Amino acid sequence: MLTLHKAAAALPKPSRSRMCEFLRSFGFDPGKLFLHKLILGIETSCDDTAAAVVDESGKVWGEAIHSQTEVHLNFFISSRTGGIVPPVAQQLHRENIQRIVKEALSTSKISPSELSAIATTVKPGLALSLGVGLSFSLRLVDQLKIPFIPIHHMEAHALTIRLLNKVEFPFLVLLISGGHCLLALVRGVSDFLLLGKSLDIAPGDMLDKVARRLSLIKHPECSTMSGGKAIEHLAKQGNKLHFDIKPPMQRAKNCDFSFTGLQHVTDRIITQKEKEEGIQKGQILSSAAHIAAAVQHTTACHIAKRTHRAILFCKQRDLLPQSNAVLVASGGVASNFYIRKALEIVTNATQCTLLCPPPRLCTDNGIMIAWNGIERLRAGVGVLYNTEGIRYEPKCPLGVDISEEVGEAAIKVPRLKMEI
């Protein structure tokens, strides 16, 4: 044996690139030989049907997404109800899921038999939407005889950054989207401490409502944008100081958020301006850009202040390193550059580093679900070889809630100049 090993060691090893070339000459993709595990991620928790194939190194082999935004936007105009219409979302997921998964696999040039596992969002989200992704995935894992990894949508948002950057635990995460608003400390793949959350609606929901009230869908520059994006776009043309909108919860020394008050104040301003300008509800106000700028500024200040307190709390309790701690901001609203700049002011003042996934990974996608599957597979947590009794959960908190303790600490946050 010893001699054999010695003999083998004496032979020159073919280089990896020459081996790749050799394999390619047979029409074989050598990437597949060197990768370890491939996971298909499936996301249907809200209004996007998304799928992606990701490997252990974080390489994205292929992805596909079908966004329902436009359909729901058109539905809002006719129904005037606003928000996502669950049965419509369910029907669209049903119509698209097979095509989207097929597309993700075919762009990956991966055959289903090469997959190591399937990871799918099972919580939290719209019951009707989650059900479509779950039943499709369970049929697939059953056929392929591979493990299933149930995914928490918010955990997936929180860990997406680790696909791109080498971020070690613990780090702080701020998740701000259309359905969620929370601050959490991430201590491990499935170890989260919830520091604060919105007591009413999420910031994206508020921005969507304001955008709808301003009828931005009729604005020639914003007609295809989500509410939040339309507000960001229009705010660039407005003066944030034109209207004085105070940030909410100034006296509550915790890390919770609130956005309904902000929505109502803005609503009153719009009604007042409609009277002044003598225009009907549904027409575009001449001061729409100023309103957008003011509401975006107050939203940014509110989010920045609560995040600042969370950083101070974590440092006070030695939950985060004193210097070079990482704050990750993700979710659809975190793709807003004005809000990112407000957060940067906070991280600069507290010697932290702000990291934000690129906008396409901030919004819902299949990559983050597949990546969370990889994280779980690596850590050996939540990988199911038997899917009996697995259910989706429309409501599911993130981690252990210590928000009361954060409030009891009543940390005073130093005032920062928000010059953005």
List contacts with ligand KG4 (CB under 6 A): 46, 177-179, 204-205, 207-208, 226-229, 232, 331-333, 335-336, 363-364
Compare residues 129 and 350 and give the one whose CB is closer to ligand KG4.
129
User: 72 is in the binding site of which of ligand KG4, Zn ion, none (Cβ under 5 to 8 A by kind)?
Assistant: none
Q: Residues 325-364 vs Zn ion: string with x where CB under 5 A?
A: ---------------------------------------x
Residues facing 52 on adjacent strands: 41, 63
Beta strands in 288-373 (DSSP E): 325-330, 352-355
Name the residue nearer to ligand KG4 (CB basis): 55 or 208. 208
Instruction: Tell me if residue 48 falls in helix, strand or coil.
Output: strand
Rounded CA-CA distance 183/248 in Å is 17
Q: Does a cis peptide bond (omega within 30 degrees of 0) precede residue 170?
A: yes
Query: Residue 150: which of Zn ion, ligand KG4, none does it interact with, CB under 5 to 8 A by kind?
Result: none
| CA count, 13 A, side-chain hemisphere, 320 | 27
Taking the C-alpha atoms of 104, 107, 109 and 112 in order, what is their torsion angle to the nearest 10 degrees?
10
Contact mark string toward Zn ion, 363..402, x via CB under 5 A: -x--------------------------------------
Using CB under 5 A as the binding criterion, the count of chain residues that bind Zn ion stands at 2
Strands of the sheet with 400-401, listed across from one edge: 352-355, 325-330, 171-176, 181-188, 191-197, 400-401
**Does an H or E element contain 60, and which?**
strand 60-67
Binding mask 172-191 for Zn ion (x = CB under 5 A): -----x--------------
Nearer to Zn ion, 49 or 177 (CB): 177
Q: How far is the CB of 43 from Zn ion (least distance, A)?
A: 8
Could you say which of Zn ion, ligand KG4, none residue 170 binds, taking C-beta under 5 to 8 angstroms by partner kind?
Answer: none
Q: How far is the CB of 228 from ligand KG4 (least distance, A)?
A: 2
| Comparison of 313 and 392: residue with beta carbon closer to ligand KG4 | 392
Q: Give me the least distance between CB of 352 and ligand KG4, in Å please.
A: 22
Please give the C-alpha separations between residue 342 and each of 183, 202, 346, 416, 417, in angstroms, as whole numbers.
Answer: 16, 18, 7, 10, 10
CB atoms within 10 A of CB 312: 19
336 binds, among ligand KG4, Zn ion, none (CB under 5 to 8 A by kind): ligand KG4
Compute the least distance from the CB of residue 372 to ligand KG4, in Å.
Answer: 15
Q: How many CB atoms lie within 10 A of CB 106?
A: 12
Q: Which is nearer to ligand KG4, 73 or 312 (CB)?
A: 73
* Nearer to ligand KG4 (CB atom), residue 125 or residue 196: 125
In whole angstroms, give the CA distance from residue 125 to residue 44: 8
Q: Residue 109: left if φ>0, alpha if ψ -120 to 50, beta else—which one? A: left
How many angstroms separate the CA atoms of 392 and 125, rounded?
Answer: 9
- For residue 229, the partner it binds in Zn ion, ligand KG4, none, with Cβ less than 5 to 8 A by kind, is ligand KG4
- The least CB distance from residue 17 to ligand KG4, in Å, is 40
For the window 138-177, what string marks contact with Zn ion as x by the rule CB under 5 A?
Answer: ---------------------------------------x
Please say which residue, 89 or 207, places its beta carbon nearer to ligand KG4: 207
Quick one: DSSP state of residue 350? T
Residue nearest to Zn ion (CB): 364
Q: Which of 151, 96, 92 is nearest to 118 (CA)?
A: 151
Smallest separation (angstroms) from ligand KG4 to the CB of 163: 16
Can you point out the beta strands (E) in 110-267? 117-123, 148-152, 171-176, 181-188, 191-197
Between residues 124 and 147, which has the closer beta carbon with respect to Zn ion?
124
- What is the nearest approach in angstroms of ligand KG4 to the Cβ of residue 336? 3
Q: Are the beta carbons of 194 and 400 closer than 8 angstroms?
A: yes
Q: Residue 368 in contact with residue 160, Cβ under 8 Å?
A: yes
Contact 88, 245 (CB under 8 A): no
Shortest distance in whole angstroms from residue 363 CB to Zn ion = 7
CB of 63 to Zn ion, least distance (A): 16
Which residue, 160 or 287, has its beta carbon nearer to Zn ion? 160
Q: What is the largest CA-CA distance in the chain?
A: 95
Taking CB under 5 A as the rule, does residue 129 contact Zn ion? no
Nearer to Zn ion, 50 or 60 (CB): 50
The binding site for Zn ion (CB under 5 A) comprises: 177, 364
